[in-house]
Amino acid sequence: MKLLLTTLNAKYIHSCLALAYLQAAAADDRWETKVREFTINEKNEYIMAEIFREQPDVLAFSVYIWNVCAILEICREYKKVAPQSYIILGGPEVSYDAKNILMENPSIDCIIRGEGEESIKEVLESIAGSKSRAEVKGISYRDGASILDNPDRELIAELGMVPFPYQDQLDSYHNRILYYETSRGCPYNCSYCLSSTIKGVRFFPLDRVKEDLAKLIHAGVKEVKFVDRTFNADERRARAIMEFIISQGGNTRFHCEIAADYLSPEFISFLTTVPPDLFNFEIGIQSTCPESLKAVRRKSNWQRLRTNIESLQSAGNLHLHLDLIAGLPYESLERFGRSFNDVFSIRPDVIQLGFLKLLKGSEIRAVAREHGYMFQDKPPYQLLANHYLDYTDILQLKQIENLLDRYYNSGQMRFTLDYIVQQIYQGDAFSFLAAFASYWQEQGYFACSHRREAEYNFLLDFIKSNFVMFQETVNELLKYDYLWNQQSSNLPSKLSGCNPENTSQILYTVIKDQDFVQSNLPPYASTKSNRELRRLLHLEFFKIDLNTGIESSQLIPYLFLYNPRRKKAEELIKVPGTFINSE
């Protein structure tokens, strides 16, 4: 008997922790087990063909909101060409109303509800004939013309019994995100989250976690994303894990979701000392409106949260993602704008603007009528409108999300955006993005894709059309942002340069000056020839002082030093006027 475990990930870079767990749990000499991962960007026809070539006796899918529709379609068609195959579904999107899914989809034979490590092996034993299916807890299944719901399976009490999910397959994760968990469950009870349906937090044994992480680090995995709902639910334990990671060295980066408002001063002090670029922290703000947070049973104190986040920022060693959810109860467009500005004012590395999803089984879906929620009938069940936001508001927020990703989260125009928000919009980032989104809509820019250079042009045109007195300063700041973020000697077409005709000769004069190179570029003074150094440098003249943003009566030359691997600047050097005067 052959078992094929499969799913459709959102992107190739993603991986599926559930499949890895199930493969390890199902390992048995009585059957062959194989994993195949696809993506939602691949055609269903191709995926079905690849599955058919595997010729599985048992086909098991891990199902989520982003892939359920495609998986159900694949199962319908696959059953026609392989009617003898036994098809199993599992995962959060099919656990809540398993019986209805079986009724509506005759191609599905069995659904595993909840945790599947113990259930999958028992289902396989029942298929092999060594166990009655009626004895398997936590499944709904087809028995002739009947559909049966067996009793729920108890949660796994001792998580240390769950096998390490990545036995001998770590080579396949070198260029992908590998998911790992040190706990299951969440200490919070937010009404929009399925974690609220399971009480309490269970932890994997600390020694087991350290042993697992050592394997991942020593295997050279590029990025590990902890799927713990709240990594710092037990602060002492979280610190012990982080200290262990630091002790192992290596180049693996770790992404953790934390609750920042409950960080102790001691833990914050520790976090400001960890090696740079080792940890990414994702922090769920969701809203700064107390009434909204209370309505979804999320406890949070914005002032304490802000203070703690700014303390984490102070050392500059952590990459911080802050999350917002549009569509919570009682939060109008205007009030959401205040939440947005509160978060923007912290200047995190990434602001993730998400939209409320009314998931099957969540409490907020059960009380949707109370707040006038309208949402998609099919996954991902995203908000369309409620008593506080109409569909026009949602469309505007979608456009703001688009521009936020392009202009802020990309890191491409941070210097320029800071100036526009502070100097032109007096700190109101939400109003700026709303106005810029209206401009994009008027120009038809949302209707098609654009090169990065065009996005710089669009921002400058917006400023020219609405704030002509600021256009020269914004032009100079956009030049800086562009040249910092990509190694190029050509500016976007709408940006105005002011380099003198002899700029190339000036650059060569600078490079040949050993005192200047030794003083400003010491790592390259003895390791790079003049020609090699020239490839790493770009000279550009500006009408403003980039350190102060103040306009200058004379052109100021700046040298951009580029990282040859990343093709991005890593240092900006102000060139003395003596080099200009000597030419």
* Structure-token pair, residue 187: 């200490």
488 domain residue, yes or no = no
User: pLDDT category, 167, cuts 50, 70, 90?
Assistant: confident
CATH code of the domain in which 238 resides? 3.80.30.20
**Domain stop point among 149, 171, 204:** 149
Residue-wise pLDDT for 392-427, tens only, equals: 999 999 999 999 999 999 999 999 999 999 999 999
For the cut 90, the answer to whether the pLDDT of residue 6 exceeds it is yes
Closest CA to 188 of 262, 121, 114: 262
Closest CA to 72 of 105, 39, 48: 105
Closest CA to 247 of 272, 274, 221: 274
What pLDDT does residue 564 have? 84
376 domain residue, yes or no = no
Calpha distance 343→337 (Å, rounded): 10
Contact 73, 63 (CB under 8 A): no
Residue 147 burial (10 A CB sphere; 0-12, 13-18, 19+): middle
User: pLDDT category, 547, cuts 50, 70, 90?
Assistant: confident
Q: Tell me: do 78 and 47 sit in the same domain.
A: yes
For the cut 90, the answer to whether the pLDDT of residue 567 exceeds it is no
For the cut 80, the answer to whether the pLDDT of residue 583 exceeds it is no
* Structure-token pair, residue 222: 């590029």
**What is the H or E stretch that residue 26 is in?**
helix 17-26
User: pLDDT category, 565, cuts 50, 70, 90?
Assistant: confident
Mean pLDDT over 322-335 rounds to: 98
What pLDDT does residue 577 have? 77
492 domain residue, yes or no = no
Portion of the chain with pLDDT greater than 90, in percent: 88
Per DSSP, what are the bridge partners of residue 357?
382
**Domain stop point among 338, 371, 404:** 371
Name the amino acid, one letter, at 391. Y
Strands 58-62 and 86-90: parallel
Mean pLDDT over 547-556 rounds to: 89
Closest CA to 542 of 495, 487, 505, 578: 495
- Our measurement of the distance from residue 78's CA atom to the centroid of its chain's CA atoms, rounded to an integer in Å, reads 33
* Structure-token pair, residue 326: 């549009």
**What is the H or E stretch that residue 209 is in?**
helix 206-218
Portion of the chain with pLDDT greater than 70, in percent: 99
Residues 136-142: contacts with CB under 8 Å, at least 24 apart: 138/112, 138/113, 138/114, 139/110, 139/111, 139/112, 139/113, 140/98, 140/99, 140/102, 140/110, 140/111, 140/113, 141/102, 141/109, 141/110, 141/111, 142/102, 142/108, 142/109, 142/110
Residue-wise pLDDT for 421-455, tens only, equals: 999 999 999 999 999 999 999 999 999 999 999 99
Residue-wise pLDDT for 198-233, tens only, equals: 778 999 999 999 999 999 999 999 999 999 999 999
Q: Tell me: do 292 and 181 sit in the same domain.
A: yes
Q: Tell me: do 138 and 163 sit in the same domain.
A: no
Residue-wise pLDDT for 455-480, tens only, equals: 999 999 999 999 999 999 999 999 99
**Domain stop point among 149, 183, 215:** 149
What pLDDT does residue 92 have? 93
What pLDDT does residue 387 have? 98
Closest CA to 264 of 230, 311, 220: 311
Mean pLDDT over 24-44 rounds to: 96
Query: What 3-state class would DSSP assign to 181?
Result: coil
Residue-wise pLDDT for 254-291, tens only, equals: 999 999 998 999 999 999 999 999 999 999 999 999 99
360 domain residue, yes or no = yes
* pTM for the predicted model, two decimal places: 0.93
User: pLDDT category, 90, cuts 50, 70, 90?
Assistant: very high
Q: Tell me: do 440 and 520 sit in the same domain.
A: no
Mean pLDDT over 143-163 rounds to: 95
Name the amino acid, one letter, at 571. E
CA atoms within 13 A on the CB side of 506: 22
Q: Tell me: do 36 and 68 sit in the same domain.
A: yes
CATH code of the domain in which 136 resides? 3.40.50.280
What pLDDT does residue 475 have? 97
Contact 3, 86 (CB under 8 A): no
What pLDDT does residue 506 have? 92
For the cut 60, the answer to whether the pLDDT of residue 324 exceeds it is yes
Mean pLDDT over 100-112 rounds to: 97
What pLDDT does residue 64 have? 97
207 domain residue, yes or no = yes
377 domain residue, yes or no = no
Q: Tell me: do 460 and 528 sit in the same domain.
A: no
Domain that holds residue 413: 390-482
For the cut 80, the answer to whether the pLDDT of residue 168 exceeds it is no
Q: Tell me: do 142 and 178 sit in the same domain.
A: no
379 domain residue, yes or no = no
Q: Tell me: do 139 and 271 sit in the same domain.
A: no
Residue reference for tokens 């109303």: 97
What pLDDT does residue 104 have? 96
Calpha distance 141→112 (Å, rounded): 9
Q: Tell me: do 225 and 302 sit in the same domain.
A: yes
Q: Tell me: do 352 and 397 sit in the same domain.
A: no
380 domain residue, yes or no = no
- Our measurement of the distance from residue 405's CA atom to the centroid of its chain's CA atoms, rounded to an integer in Å, reads 11
DSSP state letters, 465-495: HH-GGGHHHHHHHHHHHHHHHS--SS--TTS
CA angle 260/311/180 to nearest 5° reads 40
Mean pLDDT over 144-155 rounds to: 96
Mean pLDDT over 159-178 rounds to: 88
Calpha distance 355→328 (Å, rounded): 9
Tally of structural domains, the chain: 4
Averaged pLDDT of the chain = 95
Q: Tell me: do 129 and 201 sit in the same domain.
A: no
Q: Tell me: do 96 and 42 sit in the same domain.
A: yes
